[in-house]
Amino acid sequence: MIRYSLICDHGHEFEGWFSESADFDRQKESGFLSCPVCSSVAISKTLMAPSVATARKKEEGQKLVFDQVQREAFLKLKEAIAEVKANSEDVGERFPEEARKIHYGETQARGIIGNATPDEVHALIDEGIEVAPLPVLPDDVN
């Protein structure tokens, strides 16, 4: 896991954990990375002190270790995401179009998931259409 210090365009600082550096870029590009304070998707990395890995630190860092409460919360979050996916239609790249059709009553209301660019997400929100990203979580938690 890689930890980045992040900041939104409104100056809110927070941390993000990613399985690899490309995950940050993918999540930012897709609009799924947002500020936990103001929901802005204009996120950038900030400077942070490097973590020097000793042999012991390296071994310890190879496993993502949660305490029991964190593990239970993580598993509940994974279950919730699975439930959303199981009860939604994956419309892929047609997500913005389908979300608009549902919002304006042009098609049957139903749960949908899919892909949208940050600009498309902003446009949907500006139209009053509620959207929310589904986080991408690691498969295994110790």
Residues 46-61 pLDDT 10s: 876 565 666 666 555 5
pLDDT class of 108 with cuts at 50, 70, 90: very high
> Above pLDDT 90, what percent of the chain?
41
Calpha distance 122→129 (Å, rounded): 10
Mean pLDDT computed over 87-95: 95
- 102: burial class by Cβ within 10 Å (0-12, 13-18, 19+)? middle
| 118-126 helix and 21-30 helix, angle to the nearest 10 degrees | 40
Displacement of CA 122 from its chain's centroid (Å): 15
Judge if pTM exceeds 0.85. Answer: no
Query: Residue 17: what pLDDT?
Result: 86
> Above pLDDT 70, what percent of the chain?
84
